[in-house]
Structure 1
Amino acid sequence: MNTTRRQFLRDAAGLAGVAVVGGALSAEADPQDPPGAKKFSISLAAWSVHRLFFDGKLKQIDLPKLTREEFGLDGLELVNNFFPAPTFDYCNDLRKRAADHGVKILLIMCDSEGDMSHADAAVRRQAVRNHRKWLDAAALLGCHSIRCNFGNAAPGDAEAIRRGAESFAELADLAAADKLNVIIENHGGLSSDADSLMKVVAAVNKPNFGTLPDFGNFPKEADRYDSICKLMPAAKAVSAKCYAFNDAGDETTIDFARMMKIVLDAGYRGYVGIEYEGPTDELAGVKACRRLLERFQ
């Protein structure tokens, strides 16, 4: 990142009254240290409203207002595909809107940026380069992390783990320069096998590299609770995936009481992001998940 951007980051911190660094490299903005006395804080994963976005009824620039005024939340997780472009001016505007609404932009979920474990080294190098613009955007927005995908490898592929670890080690070093984390979600393929993903974490072996455990995104044969338990020691964020709720307000697919006990027993005290993926009204789904999570705060 050039000097102009670094100066902007220092100025932005003063204007917004918030830290623009994050992750394990900064105690001030560490995702393990949420404000207040609650056991954890609740954030909105922007993917929860993806149908509104793709239907043209919502723009990302308005997400801070929606997060605060519609849902009463103070944390927001962005999706790279919702950006018109990660330009300096756009990120500056989005950061100011978030500050105006008292919302922290926590991370950017990055999709469609290449296979970090591909057998072709040139493809892997390009994938690393593709993520650099999101590191810049995350730093400008005051995030603690970017979330990446591992690639298309199958679970247990030792060579893919080795290749992916090399790519992510390089990306983590780039992220460390701006005090950012690089995290991987269980998001299909090898990454949805907890044992394989934790082998990647061990191979990378960097303090700013970890996981984003998602309550969903596991194959049917996997024990989701055991898998989350395995991923939590490296967690720097958590996604509370939800699909449907019964009349009592419980999620009908996932035992949230069991999941949140695993999360809290692991010592996690950061933001838990609502990620609604049900077929019905997105706003109502987010609110139902918020009410459910509040039981465990």
Structure 2
Amino acid sequence: MSYFSMNTWSIHRHLGPLRWTVWNEEEKRHDTHVDPQPETTTLLELPAVLAEKGFGAVDVCHFHIPRTDAEYLVELREAFRSSGVAFHTLLLDYGDISSSDELRRASDMALAKEWIGIAAQAGAGHIRIIAGQAQPDSAEALERAYESLAELAAWAEKHGVRIVTENFRPLASTSANCLAIKSRLGDAIGLIGDFGNFVKEVRREELAAILPFCGSVHAKPEFDVEGRPIEAEFRDLLQLLPDSGYDGPITLIYDGPGDMWEGVERVRAIAKDYV
């Protein structure tokens, strides 16, 4: 049965600094760029807040995790356990495991393995790995993505975490490539379907194609200038969930102006008719 989850991006103006991972091409290494943001709720406090608001799970963007030492990750795991809110997916928001640059690919694979360990320590059930940054018509990049995802899936299994990928970034920006990845790797990896990541002109058809294979969805509508969801379009996409037999978490995303918690509730007010 479906239930509500939330993506931490929905309240990114409440959770403190964003710690973006970037590739330093000149130095051939990973750097972290810090984007200051207010912190009205800590990540350790968030599970209890979400429980009070009736959410069953959360997807956490990796740049919202302020520390990765063992002591902090144990605290985070306990915060989720005591709240009853599941840490569903750690969203690794960086990486190009399909890169033709062997050094870059090896570095990004090593970083992904590091974050798999972090996900395991924090109690996440899944970790989202980006399939690649290459254009979707690159057969060579897709082949490298198959190999990399298979390697990471085997690594994650040893840590009790499941690899998922998403229709996110160029390589997986078509349903054909998402389905090719699932066909090649089968149950070794899962799939997230994001409402907002396919090209708008074919969004409905592309999303309908992958939903039967998705274990979770990111329900992200488009918004008007005041932060109100474009309701008719959002409902059209939400209707695909029961039509496809989808019964996993519906992860709400608000990405508009104003108070973000209020924005989340505007999204939920529409999506509740499909749970």
Shift, 1:123, TM fit: 2.2
Which residue of 2 is the match for residue 286 of structure 1?
Answer: 264
Whether the 8 Å CA contact 1:243–1:279 is kept in 2: the answer is no
Equivalence map 1:14-93=2 (5 Å) = 39-53=1-15, 54=17, 55-57=37-39, 58-69=41-52, 71-93=53-75
Which residue of 2 is the match for residue 207 of structure 1?
Answer: 187
SS at match of 2:194: coil
Name stretches of at least 5 consecutive residues in structure 2 with no aligned partner.
Answer: 18-36
Is residue 177 of structure 2 the alignment partner of residue 196 of structure 1? yes
Supply the distance in 1 between the matched residues of 2:272 and 2:225 (Cα, whole angstroms): 16
Which residue of 2 is the match for residue 269 of structure 1?
Answer: 247
Shift, 1:244, TM fit: 2.9
Shift, 1:241, TM fit: 0.7
Is residue 196 of structure 2 the alignment partner of residue 216 of structure 1? yes
Shift, 1:180, TM fit: 2.3
Supply the distance in 2 between the matched residues of 1:121 and 1:197 (Cα, whole angstroms): 23
Q: Which string of whole-angstrom CA distances, capped at 9 and with x for unpartnered residues, describes residues 146-186 of structure 1?
A: 11212221122111100111111100111122332211122
Which residue of 2 is the match for residue 99 of structure 1?
Answer: 81
Letter aligned with residue 43 of structure 2 = Q
Whether the 8 Å CA contact 2:6–2:57 is kept in 1: the answer is yes
Is residue 220 of structure 2 the alignment partner of residue 241 of structure 1? yes
Whether the 8 Å CA contact 1:172–1:206 is kept in 2: the answer is no
Supply the distance in 2 between the matched residues of 1:110 and 1:237 (Cα, whole angstroms): 16
Letter aligned with residue 225 of structure 1 = R
Supply the distance in 1 between the matched residues of 2:241 and 2:212 (Cα, whole angstroms): 9
SS at match of 1:76: strand
Q: TM-score normalised to the size of structure 2?
A: 0.84
Supply the distance in 1 between the matched residues of 2:244 and 2:83 (Cα, whole angstroms): 31
Q: Compare the two structures and name the one with the higher strand fraction.
A: 2
Which residue of 1 is the match for residue 210 of structure 2?
Answer: 231
Q: Which string of whole-angstrom CA distances, capped at 9 and with x for unpartnered residues, describes residues 37-96 of structure 1?
A: xx4100111110112234222322221122123x32121111111112222211110121
Is residue 143 of structure 2 the alignment partner of residue 155 of structure 1? no
Q: 1:231 to 1:254 in 2, by over 3 A?
A: farther
Shift, 1:193, TM fit: 1.5
Whether the 8 Å CA contact 2:221–2:234 is kept in 1: the answer is no
Shift, 1:120, TM fit: 2.2
Which residue of 2 is the match for residue 32 of structure 1?
Answer: none
Q: 1:93 to 1:109 in 2, by over 3 A?
A: same
Whether the 8 Å CA contact 2:134–2:141 is kept in 1: the answer is yes
Whether the 8 Å CA contact 1:242–1:254 is kept in 2: the answer is no
Q: TM-score normalised to the size of structure 1?
A: 0.78
Between the two proteins, the alignment pairs up a number of residues equal to 254
Supply the distance in 2 between the matched residues of 1:52 and 1:218 (Cα, whole angstroms): 28
How large is the RMSD of aligned CA atoms in angstroms? Answer: 2.3
SS at match of 2:241: helix
Equivalence map 1:105-144=2 (5 Å) = 105-112=87-94, 114-144=95-125
Letter aligned with residue 234 of structure 1 = F
Letter aligned with residue 258 of structure 2 = T
Q: Which string of whole-angstrom CA distances, capped at 9 and with x for unpartnered residues, describes residues 240-259 of structure 1?
A: 01343799x98316633332
Whether the 8 Å CA contact 1:64–1:98 is kept in 2: the answer is yes
Supply the distance in 2 between the matched residues of 1:227 and 1:99 (Cα, whole angstroms): 36
Name segments (4+ residues, structure 1) moved above 6 Å.
none
